[in-house]
Structure 1
Amino acid sequence: MKNIIKPKAVIFDMDGTLVDNIPFHKKAWLTFLAKHNIHLEPEHFNAQNHGTIDEMIKRFFGENLNPKRITELGFEKEQTYRYLYREHISEIEGLTKFLRNLKNQNIKIGLATMGDIPNIDFILDALQIRDYFDGIVGGHMISKGKPDPEIFNTVATLLHVENNDCLVFEDSIGGVRSARSANMCVIGIMTTESSDDLKANGCFRTIKSFVECCDVDFLKSTT
């Protein structure tokens, strides 16, 4: 991969990256599954927490579910999450300022999230940051979830930029692997994983919050 002197696009994951909401997603999954008499310890759930919502529903409920039932169950889980997180929504510190800086430098901004439309609306509208994004790709728009690179390939196409001109912010190992498989540079944000683990899976730098990115020369100093 070539070194980016200045990226043409910066692409963000949503859950765990724009907001520190992963504990609420996990609690929602465990609550939802228990309601359907599927009882898992958190560590057992963590090993299966990847892919699209449809992939996860089939993983827990069986491959033979009809599409309508998969959609119903997925919707129920996401409703549970939004109910649990609604009173706690807040951006990762420094996010809005960083987005504003990117816009001022005419850098395109993308979103690559496994979330569906209601969850995307839920976060972007609560934080009032929707207008910063030039392209949004959700889990409902792809067939293969992270760590497959499909979602990052899709958002790069939507933004009309080459993959190796993109810089990605991700919090999860699966997300980092997805972006790296798409030939993109990745900065890890340490909401869910350690700096060592993020770097071991392909991040060239890690941050605790976007406050570290708000200097206008940040991109020049890191890429």
Structure 2
Amino acid sequence: MIVNNNPIQGVIFDMDGTLVDSIPFHLQAWMIFLEKNGVSIREEDFHAQNHGTLQEMIMRFFPNEKSADRIYDLGEEKEETFRNLYKPHIEEVSGVTSFLEALRDQNKSIHLATMGEQDNIDYTLDLIEIRSYFHSLTGGHEVKNGKPDPEIFLKALEKAQIPAENAIVFEDSSGGIRAAKGAGIPVYGIATTHTPQELEGMGCQKAFLNFDEALNYFF
């Protein structure tokens, strides 16, 4: 794999919306959770607030909540709501396992960089049975600043011990694309939440409908 004349040593994947098409279920879980806890917001207004770490989002929706334990508990409640909603529907984006197999066959290192918390990482990777492919996992609980800040990708590069120019990222969102580019890593898109054209307009070098297309492109 050669990108921008640089040999690719490792690939970093976002999780929600990239490995699994889970974003609609996260939205539904947020709406249920917020209404249950007395916060009224329209879906179209929620999208502008949907960025950062889980803790940042809880503090955004509950600005008067000062207890760290209560903020943590609210975050856990939201994520449990999501997992219960999504479990009957979870499946990989088409071609994920085949793409990971191809990377492993070429001895590429494989890494995860998601704003998801550890419980959601475990839940997702284990249910779609892809944990064994990953050399490192980096979650939202490990960073202070959520996407679009590049912190999570810089941490993933540090774990991978590879330079930014020798890595690529797969992402599905504007914030994730900006974060990866801020870390100096070329980005490729998976079109679950946006069209390929929209993702390329956001800064992806190329975007694919799924990993079947990515497999044909890279291999």
Normalised by the shorter chain, which TM-score bucket? over 0.9
- 1:100 maps to what in 2? 101
Give the secondary structure class of the aligned counterpart of 1:37: coil
Does the 8 A contact of 2:196 with 2:209 survive in 1? no
C-alpha separation between the residues in 1 aligned to 2:159 and 2:39? 39
Alignment partner, residue 31 of structure 1: 32
- 1:125-148 Cα deviation digits (max 9, x unpaired): 001100100111000011100000
Within 2, Cα distance between the matches of 1:75 and 1:4? 44
Give CA deviations for 1:65-104 in whole Å, capped at 9, x if unaligned: 2211110000000000000001001000000000000000
Q: What SS is found at the alignment partner of 1:136?
A: strand
Give runs of aligned pairs for residues 103-182 of structure 1, distance below 5 A. Answer: 103-182=104-183
Pairwise CA distance, 1:203: 0.4
SS in 1 for 2:29: helix
In 2, Cα distance between the equivalents of 1:166 and 1:82?
31
Q: CA deviation at 1:194?
A: 2.2
Gaps of 5+ in 1: none
Moved more, 103-112 or 58-67: 58-67
Could you list the per-position Cα deviations for residues 4-48 of structure 1 after superposition, in whole angstroms to 9, with x for gaps in the alignment? 443111100000000001000000001000001111111000110
Q: Cα distance 1:82–1:4, how it changes in 2: closer, same or farther (>3 A)?
A: farther
Give me the CA root mean square deviation: 1.3
Contact 1:21 1:85 in 2 (8 A): yes
SS at structure 2 position matched to 1:88: coil
Where does structure 1 differ by over 6 angstroms across 4 or more consecutive aligned residues?
none
Identity between Structure 1 and Structure 2 (%): 47
> Is contact 1:6–1:219 with CA below 8 Å preserved after alignment?
no
Does the 8 A contact of 1:110 with 1:135 survive in 2? yes
Maintained 8 Å contact 1:24/1:85: yes
Q: Separation in 1 of the partners of 2:64 and 2:148? A: 20
Work out whether 1:44 is the aligned partner of 2:55: no
Q: Which runs of 5+ in 2 are unaligned?
A: none
Residue 19 of structure 1 corresponds to 20
| TM-score, reference length from structure 2 | 0.96
* 1:142 partner letter: V
Whether the 8 Å CA contact 2:187–2:205 is kept in 1: the answer is: yes
| 2:60 paired with 1:59 | yes
Q: Could you tell me how far apart the structure 2 residues matched to 1:67 and 1:155 are? A: 26
Are residue 219 (structure 1) and residue 218 (structure 2) matched?
A: yes
Post-superposition shift, 1:200? 1.9
Equivalent-residue separation in structure 1 for 2:7 and 2:88 (angstroms) = 37
CA contact (8 A) 2:6 2:166 kept: no
What is the Cα deviation at residue 63 of structure 1? 5.7
AA partner of residue 70 (structure 1): I
Letter in 2 for 1:56: M
